[in-house]
Structure 1
């Protein structure tokens, strides 16, 4: 049985040390400030990105990898005798999954490559890739690794809080009037991602304290009060956001069996802005590695 290698893209926000330990291949997106283009999480790390963002005259843009970039990785891994499970940012948010799918169709033999739409973002699917890579390291087949990704995708609950509505408005996620009105009233939209991979507000409350309390309520509805959970938290470096408040509140109301904290990278940060916090929660013992 051939070795199974996980391929992802830079929006999975998996730390470099973890990728190296598990042999996860990462294909980067690009972040563009004016005339300057950077490979996300290669030539532009999260802390560097948020420093540049503070001084930018205009919001940066992002660009997906080309099919050729994925094709090079797939062909190299196949030549090495490996099979591939390639997991990517929600197809509703980016063309990255489509690029990977096109690359697979360009192979002489595509039977050793599986491409999966995570229907998620950031470590929400990075966690799936890590767990799948752990399974592959234990000797799981490509079909078993694929099944692990799909199972965990179905078990995960996720919620995001943004510090400001400015970036959602600039990126076209919400209207300008809604952004101004929401900012004046200190409205905090609680965002999630649907089964179709689309971001939408599940609730809107006034103030961070109420937003944190509401997320706790939602998770108690998802898993039951006092449940044992695995928790992954992401936030942006150098910013005071809601992540610490969320972790403290969850520790008081749940049994946290596994915990991971990671940084939101440049691409997701372009659209969500500094101070964003995200939670990705699984039932404890589900097989998820944090």
Structure 2
């Protein structure tokens, strides 16, 4: 059976990653973009330079986002079906953060073939990892139900995310702050480290300085790696930054702390959609078991 694979743009896949996924799936791969609105002008996720977006946000430009629509997923499904897909697996960002997952499900209900939508309960590097797991299952010839189950299990048990925004203001405005709302009254006295718990933003640690936040994230990376796998060689840490600069001082400092513990690191720019809700200067880590 030829199985197609669909995800959304918050995975922030590189051109080489997309090419690899097209190769594995026999060109039955599609990315559905969300939309970021900057000063009332709409841009597809990935269309706007990360540094430019952060500068505009720092200047006070109003930024908001729009979920991917059922029509966009319908177009993606139709294209893959036209190219020979006999079933499709869709892996989306957390349904707790966006209605994108619901759009994927609504579009799937109008198709005659099997489309299994998996809520990754994560986004960015975690979502990219989940897509890699799905692609591996497709390449190995597994059936749709088996692949979807493996992806869901991997997302729940083998990936962990933490991040430190420069401010909670953007999360508060967008309503994505979840359980971290308890921190708002003390936002001036603390630097929060947040995480995703079952797809919902939740507080992980409260520290006093940015330096302490980076130190705490490095400790969290080590703890998560030990929890995910007994062999650290099976785990890696992806550092993410809203500004898209791998040479940013915070990125380099965090990289040094994590690699000193023996864990390898990679870098990924946050998608414009995520940055719109967490703000410029946000740094994050995703610890995950290798696909």
Relative to the length of structure 1, the TM-score reads 0.84
Instruction: Map 1:71-150; keep pairs closer than 5 Å.
Output: 71-82=74-85, 83-107=87-111, 109-111=112-114, 113-150=115-152
Structure 1 position 179, deviation (Å): 4.9
Seen in structure 2, the aligned counterparts of structure 1 residues 87 and 221 have a Cα distance that, compared at 3 Å, is same
1:270 & 1:13 partners in 2: Cα distance? Answer: 14
Where structure 2 has 5 or more consecutive residues not aligned to the other structure, the ranges are: 23-28
Please give the root-mean-square deviation of Cα atoms over the aligned residues, in Å: 2.6
SS at match of 2:145: helix
CA contact (8 A) 2:244 2:270 kept: no
Deviation at 1:180, TM superposition (A): 7.5
Alignment check: 8 A CA contact 1:241 1:277 kept: no
Mapping of 1:1-290 within 5 angstroms? 1-2=1-2, 4-23=3-22, 24-41=29-46, 43-58=47-62, 60-82=63-85, 83-107=87-111, 109-111=112-114, 113-153=115-155, 154-173=157-176, 179=184, 181-183=186-188, 185=189, 187-195=190-198, 197-224=199-226, 227-228=232-233, 229-237=235-243, 240=248, 242-256=250-264, 259-283=265-289, 287-288=290-291
| CA drift at 1:181 | 4.3
> Closer, same or farther in 2 for the Cα pair 1:117/1:14, shift >3 Å?
same
- Quick one: structure 1 residues 45 and 145, their matched pair in 2 at CA, closer, same or farther if it must change by over 3 Å? farther
2: CA distance between counterparts of 1:73 and 1:173? 27
CA distance in 2, matches of 1:231, 1:69: 32
Determine the C-alpha separation between the residues in 2 that align with 1:31 and 1:152. 29
Count of equivalent residues: 275
Contact 1:242–1:276 (CA under 8 A) maintained in structure 2 = no
Distance 2:220 2:259 in 1: 15
CA shift at 1:74, angstroms? 0.9
Kindly state the Cα deviation for residue 172 of structure 1 after the two structures are TM-superposed: 3.9
Q: Tell me, what secondary structure is at the counterpart of 1:5? A: strand
User: In the superposition, relative to structure 1, how do residues 176 and 73 fare at CA in structure 2: closer, same or farther (>3 Å)?
Assistant: closer
Give ranges in structure 1 of 5+ residues lacking alignment.
Answer: none
Secondary structure, aligned partner of 1:133: helix
8 Å CA contact 2:224–2:287 kept in 1: the answer is: no
Write out per-residue CA displacement over residues 15-71 of structure 1, whole angstroms, 9 at most, x where no aligned residue: 233113312411111111233111111x3243442243333433x111112111101
Distance 2:116 2:55 in 1: 37
Deviations 1:167-209 (Å, cap 9, x if unpaired)? 22333456999658423x3x221111112x1111111111122
